[in-house]
Amino acid sequence: MELFMRILFAGGGTAGHINPAIAVADFARSRDKDCEILFVGTREGMESDFVPRRGYDIEYIKIHGFERRFELQNFKNFVELPLSIRDSKRIVKRFKPDVVLGTGGYVSGPVVYAAARLKVPTVIHESNGFPGITTRISARFADVVALGIDGAQEHIKKYKKIAVTGNPVRPSIIATNTFEARRKLGLDDRPFILAFGGSLGARDFNAAFADWICREAGRGRYQVLMGTGKNNQYNSVLERIKSNGLDLEKYPDIRVSEYIYDMDIALNAADLVVSRAGSTISELTAAGKPAVLVPSPYVAGNHQMYNAKAMEKAGAAVIVTEDKLTAETLGSAIDGILENRETLLKMRASSEKLGIKNAAERIFDVMKGLM
């Protein structure tokens, strides 16, 4: 069977937009090792690190997101937008893709639009329960809108070409063995908690979890790995922990890292995940992990709350809202799950039932159908 030879991916800013694209790219390569793949992103976004790290080529355009409040930068963005479309057209003409997949973030808009104008088949993928502005605009000219969460179509229902595919996750998330993952991390039989507030960091989340670490250290009940995210969050967390009189070097079962690059290993080793509720929930459910979710209220359309409620409704997560976020509320939620094995097992089964493990294949089939 003949497969694509050239696929252009556009998405960036955060890991939530980049990792789904990489997952589909990995799947395409697994079907055809000679498939030609190119990413488009910005130099400021995390794609400039993630994509080359995974061995894929990337080209850059200059585009920034619009602020929801009045900002001088918004006027600059209006100037950048037509230039980014022009540059996107040049990339599309030069690369000659058979299909283009946009996975969200402001960078995907001009690329998908340029491809559509040049009559190249286009797919836009939305990972959240409430579609972002890029998706809602791109849906007007994309050939198909692929949705990660069933129900999101209610917000773009006037567009007919919709496919509920689930959110793609890296194959290693699904393939990694729990026993082997725990061995690689040097874990013992105690519960292992994985915590992260997002690839760019989340100040309030990090502060509350750092305070919980300070309360929990020395009790020896749990093993912990915390990813602080970037934007100087790592130093802030370490300073907060130190200011509370805790020397982490004395507690080898508590680890703090700026970013968790081996997320497939950490996630599969975890008994419980404490996190925000972005597209991360797709990896949680694909791996069958129960979670304590703290939806960010600072995102467009409050989409993280939509995501979190989908997991909570299925019985796979407990929600702690930002206005009630403290070390005490986190501790209560964590203990309520890990101290009751029946609850933990039920949540684990619910999470696994909710997960869609072949989302990358589904999206690939949608793309293939356009050919």
Each residue's pLDDT tens digit, 231-280: 789 999 999 999 999 999 999 999 999 989 899 999 999 999 999 998 78
CATH of the domain at 159: 3.40.50.2000
The strands making up 192-196's β-sheet, listed across from edge to edge, are 254-257, 223-227, 192-196, 272-275, 291-293, 317-319
What three-state secondary structure class fits 36?
Answer: strand
Percent of the chain with pLDDT over 70: 92
Establish if 192 belongs to a structural domain. yes
- Beta-carbon contacts of 10 under 8 Å, excluding residues fewer than 6 positions away, are 21, 39, 40, 41, 88, 100, 101, 102, 103, 107, 108, 111, 112
1 in any annotated domain: no
User: Residue 307: inside a domain, yes or no?
Assistant: yes
* Residue 160 sits in the same domain as residue 178: no
Among 52-56, 172-176, 216-220, 287-291, where is mean pLDDT lowest?
172-176
In whole angstroms, what is the distance from residue 269 CA to residue 275 CA?
15
Same domain for 291 and 213, yes or no, is: yes
126 plus 216 within the same structural domain:
no
- Say how many C-beta atoms besides its own lie within 10 A of residue 342's C-beta: 7
Residue 33 domain-assigned (yes or no)? yes
Residue 22 covered by a domain = yes
| Domain housing 336 | 173-354
Q: Is the pLDDT of residue 1 over 50?
A: no
pLDDT at 231: 74
Q: Is residue 152 pLDDT above 90, yes or no? A: no
Evaluate the CA torsion angle 39, 43, 47, 50 in order and state its sign. positive
- Claim to verify: residue 318 and residue 200 sit in the same structural domain: yes
Q: How far is it, in rounded angstroms, from Cα 42 to Cα 132?
A: 19
Residues 181 and 216 in one domain: yes
- What 3-state class would DSSP assign to 236? helix
Q: Are residues 325 and 250 in the same domain?
A: yes
Does position 76 have pLDDT exceeding 80, yes or no? no
Distances (CA, A) of 220 to 176, 189, 207, 224, 247: 27, 12, 21, 10, 15
Tell me if 77 is assigned to some domain.
yes
Domain match, 54 and 94 both: yes
Query: Cβ–Cβ contacts within 10 Å for residue 237, how many?
Result: 25
pLDDT at 203 over 80: yes
Please indicate, yes or no, whether residues 183 and 140 belong to a single structural domain of this protein: no
| Calpha distance 168→356 (Å, rounded) | 8
pTM of the model: 0.77
Residue reference for tokens 């403290």: 326
Give CA–CA dist 294/196, Å, rounded.
Answer: 10
Q: What angle do CA 149, 47, 4 make, to 5 degrees?
A: 70
- 24, 61, 84, 93, 112 from 43: Cα distances, Å: 22, 8, 13, 21, 19
Residue 268 identity (one-letter amino acid) = N
pLDDT digit string, tens, across residues 274-329: 999 987 898 999 999 999 999 998 876 788 998 999 899 999 999 999 999 999 99
Task: Quote the CA–CA distance of 146 and 123 in Å, as a whole number.
Answer: 7
Axis crossing angle, helix 327-338 with helix 203-216, rounded to the nearest 10: 60
Pair (136, 210) in one structural domain: no
CA nearest 4: which of 22, 21, 29?
Answer: 29
Q: Is-contact 142 122, C-beta < 8 A?
A: yes
The verdict on 41 and 109 lying in the same domain is yes
Q: Which of 75, 141, 71 is nearest to 108 (CA)?
A: 141
Q: Are 235 and 155 members of one domain?
A: no
pLDDT of residue 165: 93
Q: 133 and 24 in one domain?
A: yes
Q: Which tokens belong to 281?
A: 């929930």
Is 204 a member of any domain? yes
Confirm if 56 and 24 have CB atoms less than 8 A apart. no
Q: pLDDT tens-digit profile of 334-360?
A: 999 999 999 999 999 999 998 888 999
Q: Is residue 211 part of a domain?
A: yes
In the predicted model, what is the mean pLDDT of residues 41-60? 93
C-alpha distances in angstroms, 196 versus 23, 154, 202, 283, 292?
20, 30, 9, 13, 11
> Is a pLDDT exceeding 60 seen at residue 190?
yes
> How many independent structural domains does the chain possess?
2
